[in-house]
Amino acid sequence: MARKGPISDKQVVVVGANRGIGFEFVKQFLEKGNRVVATARDLSKASHLTNLKEQHAGLELTELDVTNEQSRKDWAQNLKNIAKAVDYLINNAGVASWGGLGQLTEDELLHCIRTNTVGPLMVTQEVLGAGLLKRGSVVANLTSKMGSMSDNTSGGTYAYRASKAALNAVTKSLSIDLDDKGITAVLLHPGWVKTDMTRHSGLIDAQTSVAGLISVLESGKPLVGRWYDYKHDEIPW
């Protein structure tokens, strides 16, 4: 379902929100007048979020490790006490892995896939199972152009590419399975962004990226099963 117009007075959940793109999502959704549940793995180390909470009564802070089943279950239970519904679930948490052929370890490959693919799917399943995704809800998964088959002209980066390509497949299935419930699943590519993940070597800042991605969600464009970047361009699979 394509919803057009500013996102405000909604319940948003941002997963992996203590730094980088996730933190910027929290800031911008709050500035637009939404209620936000932000997650961090360790709130005692999430000073940006705890400082932001002092300025925004609409911000709730929770702990979640997307790779840990018990953490996901406890978090979803806690979320039920905080929110009656989730209008926007932003699955942003992710890890990079730049290893090329000859340097790969099975552990690194699996950690990347566990975080970037299994994490968002299981978190979505928990939120759905908790009855918090309703008609009109949007699940936005942060992917990367590096998961695109047609864009891969340079090879390498096995774990990250595989984890995001698998996330794309997962999101496509979610978009089909959730569509008849009126729940939208969409993929977002933030661009090459100056964050810890890129060692701040990106082309754009997180503010520009997130403003663009939120404007995609507000644009009224068809979202179900689509894949957009922050400039509203559709990314080839």
Residues that bind ligand NAP (CB under 6 A): 16, 18-22, 41, 64-67, 92-95, 115, 142, 144, 189-190, 192-193, 195-198, 202
CB of 107 to ligand NAP, least distance (A): 14
CB of 170 to ligand NAP, least distance (A): 13
C-beta closer to ligand NAP: residue 180 or 196: 196
CB of 5 to ligand NAP, least distance (A): 25
213, 198, 205, 202: which is closest to 157 by C-alpha?
A: 198
CB of 35 to ligand NAP, least distance (A): 20
According to DSSP, the residues that pair with 187 across neighbouring strands are 141, 227
200, 100, 202: which is closest to 144 by C-alpha?
A: 202
Which residue carries 């693919």 as its tokens? 117
C-beta closer to ligand NAP: residue 21 or 133: 21
Which residue carries 């239970």 as its tokens? 77
198, 237, 192, 182: which is closest to 212 by C-alpha?
A: 192
C-beta closer to ligand NAP: residue 8 or 105: 105
C-beta closer to ligand NAP: residue 54 or 196: 196
- For the CA atoms of 201, 206, 209, 214, the dihedral, rounded to the nearest 10 degrees, stands at 160
CB of 99 to ligand NAP, least distance (A): 15
Residues contacting residue 231 through CB under 8 Å, at least 6 positions apart = 191, 212
